[in-house]
Amino acid sequence: MFSEQSSSATPGLSDNGSAVSDKYGAGPPPLTDTDLLEMYRTMVLSRKLDQRIWQMNRQGRAAIVASAQGHEAAQVGAIRALDPERDRFYIYYRELTTMLALGVTPLELLLGFLAKEGEPLSGARQFPLHGAIDRDRRDIVSFSNVVATQLPQAVGVALADKMRGEKRVTVAYFGDGASSMGETHEAMNFASIHRLPVIFFCENNKYAISVPISQQMNIESIATRASAYGMPGIEVNGFDPVAVYEAVGAAANLALSGQGPTLVEAVVERFLPHTSDDDDTRYRPPEDLEGIRDLDPIPATEKILRASGTLDDALDEEIKSLAQKIVNQATEDAENAPFPEPQDFYEQVYAPGSPGDQS
């Protein structure tokens, strides 16, 4: 079929997404300045929380962190085009902003990073940002320590939704590196055959730990693979939250109207090493990062909001200090939380009370 570039060099409300909507029918409703302001708030909060968690790792308090810095605009733009209560989210470990945009609180997230009692995703059993949360209100699932496992599963829940006639979108999040896995191919093929309501959302930060994209694949754009499965592929500038909103909105409309899956590739940058365990100076040439920070989507969005008169010094200061306050409070509460009780250890290996249950 087709693959489309809708990337614009700088974030802006003006020229983004229109090509996508023209091509794929009705796009999502246009964003207002207030929408963008709210997205900006989430990005600011995410960045501050991310910095805090990284700092806590350096102090030996959080075992491991995969930072979302550089991915914020892509993540917040995607969620804006979806319905947190209607849709399903099969995320991977780099989705801090996605989590916040879906309404997971900084405290809930910090309890996860510190593996404390009350950790809502897995009961402190799984890696930070792994598990399942609050399934009555939101369907966020993530088990992908082993990369790409979430893709076939996302396809499966979309299949179940289709079989039951329920109208919702399932989003499968993954990195450029995970796109090399066999499961990625198998999931896309399966979803397209059955026209399942899935959005394959690839956050391409051009590195799989140390391996640059040139050594992962011999193509320029991951979105071009979509044509091999008979589904649309949209490449979008992941530093532009509005462009991502447009692309994901178009994909959601296709999914909800029974036209099947879409592959959306948000091209982003990884501002920090792969995880807190990594030292990227070993493999990442300095020129690679040079200039990238100048494109940081958070100050870029700030600029747009100021230009449209939506944001002034006072409001910006308020947003930033409020975010810092929230992060500080969450840090304090998470640190004061106890570790899980030893008796929790045997729980939930099996259904409570079923033969084999050792708890």
Partner 1 sequence: MTEITFRQALQRGLREALDADPNVFLMGEDIGKYDGAYAVTQGLLEKYGPDRVRDTPISEAAFVGAGVGAAVAGLRPVVELMSMSFSLVASDQIVNMAAKIRYMSGGQLKVPMVLRAPTGGGVQLAATHSQSFENWYASVPGLKVVTPSTPYDALGLLRSSIEDDNPVIFAENALLYATRGDVPDAEYFVPIGVADVKRTGTDITLVGWAHGIVTLMAAAEKLAETGVSAEVVDLRSLRPLDMETVIESVEKTGRALVLDENWRTAGFGAEIAAEIGYRSSDYLDGPVARVSGTDTPSPYSRPLEQLGIPQVAWVIDEIEKTYGI
Ligand X SMILES: Cc1ncc(C[n+]2csc(CCOP(=O)(O)OP(=O)(O)O)c2C)c(N)n1
Is 284 tagged catalytic? no
Residue with Cβ nearer partner 1 (34 or 218): 218
Span from 42-50, 199-207, 284-292, 302-310 in contact with ligand X (CB under 6 A): 199-207
Say which of 185, 283, 284, 306 is annotated catalytic: 283
Give the residue from 324, 331, 269 showing the smallest Cα distance to 68.
269
Q: Which of 1, 9, 26, 64 binds partner 1 (CB under 8 A)?
A: 64
Is 207 tagged catalytic? no
Identify the sign of the CA torsion 209, 215, 220, 226.
Answer: negative
Q: Does 176 bind ligand X (CB under 6 A)?
A: yes
Q: Are 265 and 233 in contact (CB under 8 A)?
A: yes
To the nearest whole angstrom, how small is the minimum distance from the Cβ of residue 284 to ligand X?
A: 12
DSSP 6-47: ---SS--SSSSSHHHHHHHSS-PPPPPHHHHHHHHHHHHHHH
Residue with Cβ nearer partner 1 (211 or 322): 211
Q: Which of 37, 41, 143, 292 binds partner 1 (CB under 8 A)?
A: 143
To the nearest whole angstrom, how small is the minimum distance from the Cβ of residue 185 to ligand X?
A: 14
Q: Does 178 bind ligand X (CB under 6 A)?
A: yes
Tokens of 27: 């796009």
Q: Does 297 bind ligand X (CB under 6 A)?
A: no
Q: Which single residue is written with the structure tokens 């999931």? A: 187
What does DSSP say about strands 207-208 and 211-212: parallel, antiparallel, or unpaired?
A: antiparallel
Tokens of 340: 């899980």
User: What SS3 class is residue 262?
Assistant: strand
d(CA 215, CA 283) in angstroms, rounded, equals 13
Q: Which of 125, 195, 206, 320 binds partner 1 (CB under 8 A)?
A: 125
Contacts with partner 1 in 298-317 (CB under 8 A)? none
Say which of 270, 282, 293, 306 is annotated catalytic: 270
Alpha helices by DSSP H, the chain: 18-24, 33-58, 72-80, 96-101, 106-114, 150-164, 182-193, 226-229, 241-256, 286-289, 297-307, 313-336
Q: Are 153 and 141 in contact (CB under 8 A)?
A: yes
Residue with Cβ nearer partner 1 (34 or 214): 214
Rg of the chain, C-alpha, whole Å: 20
To the nearest whole angstrom, how small is the minimum distance from the Cβ of residue 155 to partner 1?
A: 17
Count, residues near partner 1 per rule CB under 8 A: 41
Count, residues near ligand X per rule CB under 6 A: 16
Beta bridge partners of 264: 201, 234
Q: Does 215 bind partner 1 (CB under 8 A)?
A: yes
Is 270 tagged catalytic? yes
Q: Are 216 and 250 in contact (CB under 8 A)?
A: no
Q: Which residue is nearest to ligand X (CB)?
A: 175
CB atoms within 10 A of CB 147: 19
Residue with Cβ nearer partner 1 (24 or 54): 54
Span from 41-49, 122-130, 259-267, 319-327 in contact with partner 1 (CB under 8 A): 122-130
Q: Which of 27, 77, 152, 177 binds partner 1 (CB under 8 A)?
A: 177
Residue with Cβ nearer partner 1 (94 or 116): 116
Contacts with ligand X in 32-91 (CB under 6 A)? none
Residues that bind ligand X (CB under 6 A): 94, 145-147, 174-178, 203, 205, 207-209, 270, 274
Known catalytic residues are 270, 274, 283
